[in-house]
């Protein structure tokens, strides 16, 4: 019997219109009433996750935001990983060589240098207003406070994202987690901040073994989480590489893939 479920949001739990089907909500409610935690694990900032947490009735469970860079339980932060200010300053310099828009996330705040269509798109899913300001001054402030962002998100066309990823990997190697969360988004994080590390941290707190958990996702930032879980589930809309990393492939996010996998793996009684 599986004892906890970890769900990615976009492309997994959420349909393409950013809603959760009523049937999926009922299945998740059944699990939580059976005492099985259902924990959302997302690249989104916290305030873009909380409305869904409240809708699902799972606010008493931890919430993993920013790809594992910032985890809260209720209003209490229980884990965060940051990119130090010096490294962030270097990333700013490198990114300016390419065509892109970069957002910088620290806990529940986010920042960008321009309010363009990329930023406006992200603003539509977040209750927290973006702060538009020069990044160099912000990095100086972070340096003075001994902190830095939990995540950078680079937004550009797919060919540019590929070039930027290759360039940054050649400089930072395994010193940073650098991977696409979709073809137009590149996520940059401290190596300690990842979905798989978040799941590992939380099951340690819950006293669970990895064999007792299910993790579902659809994209490259979900791959290690899927591989780590005792039952790793890839969505039908996932790239082949993610499907190959999974133990089980369900239907797409628009075909109630999460619900169908949960009903198969944790069937109801009677």
pLDDT tens string 189-225: 999 988 999 999 999 999 999 999 999 999 888 999 9
- Strands 4-7 and 213-217: what pairing? parallel
What is the number of residues in the chain?
A: 270
What is the mean predicted confidence (pLDDT) over 177-198? Answer: 91
Tens digit of pLDDT for each residue in 67-104? 999 999 988 999 999 999 999 999 999 999 999 999 99
C-alpha distances in Å from residue 81, one per residue of 70, 74, 190, 254: 7, 18, 6, 33
Reply yes or no on whether the pLDDT at 127 is more than 80.
no
Look at residue 125 in the predicted model and tell me its pLDDT: 73
pLDDT band at 40 (very low <50, low <70, confident <90, very high): very high
CB atoms near residue 108 (< 10 Å): 17
Tell me if residue 8 is catalytic.
Answer: yes
Look at residue 181 in the predicted model and tell me its pLDDT: 81
Look at residue 108 in the predicted model and tell me its pLDDT: 83
* Residue ranges of the chain that CATH labels 3.40.50.1000: 4-80+193-265
8 Å CB contact between 63 and 39:
yes
What is the mean predicted confidence (pLDDT) over 122-137? Answer: 83
Look at residue 269 in the predicted model and tell me its pLDDT: 65
What is the mean predicted confidence (pLDDT) over 103-120? Answer: 90
Reply yes or no on whether the pLDDT at 164 is more than 50.
yes
Which one is the CATH code of 85-189: 3.40.720.10, 3.30.565.10, 3.30.1240.10, 3.40.50.300? 3.30.1240.10
Reply yes or no on whether the pLDDT at 5 is more than 80.
yes
Reply yes or no on whether the pLDDT at 270 is more than 60.
no
The residue written with tokens 């949960």 in the block is: 262
By percentage, how much of the chain surpasses pLDDT 70?
99
C-alpha distances in Å from residue 78, one per residue of 8, 20, 74: 19, 27, 10
pLDDT band at 51 (very low <50, low <70, confident <90, very high): very high
* Torsion, Cα of 235, 239, 242, 246 (10° steps): 40
What is the mean predicted confidence (pLDDT) over 159-184? Answer: 93
Look at residue 38 in the predicted model and tell me its pLDDT: 97
Look at residue 10 in the predicted model and tell me its pLDDT: 92
Q: Which of 220, 222, 218, 237 is nearest to 180 (CA)?
A: 220
By percentage, how much of the chain surpasses pLDDT 90?
77
Tens digit of pLDDT for each residue in 230-266? 999 999 999 999 999 999 999 999 999 999 999 999 9
Catalytic residue chosen out of the listed positions 8, 10, 218, 256: 8
* Residue ranges of the chain that CATH labels 3.30.1240.10: 85-189
- The fold of the 4-80+193-265 domain, in CATH, is Rossmann fold (3.40.50)
Look at residue 41 in the predicted model and tell me its pLDDT: 97
Mean of the per-residue pLDDT values for the chain? 93
8 Å CB contact between 188 and 160:
no
Residue 6: which H helix or E strand, with range?
A: strand 4-7
CB atoms near residue 1 (< 10 Å): 7
């Amino acid at each position: 019997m599986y004892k906890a479920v970890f769900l990615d949001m976009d492309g997994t739990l959420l349909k393409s219109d950013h809603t959760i089907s009523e049937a999926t909500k009922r299945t998740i409610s059944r699990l939580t009433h059976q005492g099985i935690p259902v924990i959302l694990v997302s690249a989104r900032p916290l305030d873009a996750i909380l409305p869904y947490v409240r809708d699902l009735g799972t606010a008493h469970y931890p919430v993993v935001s920013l790809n594992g860079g910032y985890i809260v339980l209720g209003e209490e932060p229980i884990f965060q990983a940051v990119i130090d200010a010096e490294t962030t300053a270097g990333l700013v310099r490198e990114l300016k060589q390419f065509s892109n828009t970069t957002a910088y996330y620290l806990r529940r705040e986010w920042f960008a240098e321009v309010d363009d269509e990329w930023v406006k798109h992200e603003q539509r899913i977040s209750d927290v207003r973006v702060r538009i300001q020069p990044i160099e001054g912000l990095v100086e402030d972070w340096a003075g406070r001994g902190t830095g962002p939990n995540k950078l998100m680079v937004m550009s066309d797919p060919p540019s994202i590929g070039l930027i990823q290759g360039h940054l990997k050649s400089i930072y190697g395994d010193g940073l987690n650098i991977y696409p969360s979709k073809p137009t988004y590149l996520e940059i994080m401290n190596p300690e901040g990842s979905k798989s590390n978040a799941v590992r941290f939380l099951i340690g707190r819950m006293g669970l073994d990895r064999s007792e958990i299910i993790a579902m996702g659809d994209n490259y930032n979900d791959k290690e989480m899927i591989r780590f879980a005792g039952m790793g589930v890839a969505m039908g809309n996932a790239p082949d590489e993610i499907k190959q990393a999974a133990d089980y492939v369900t239907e797409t996010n628009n075909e109630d893939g999460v619900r169908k996998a949960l009903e198969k793996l944790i069937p109801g009684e009677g």
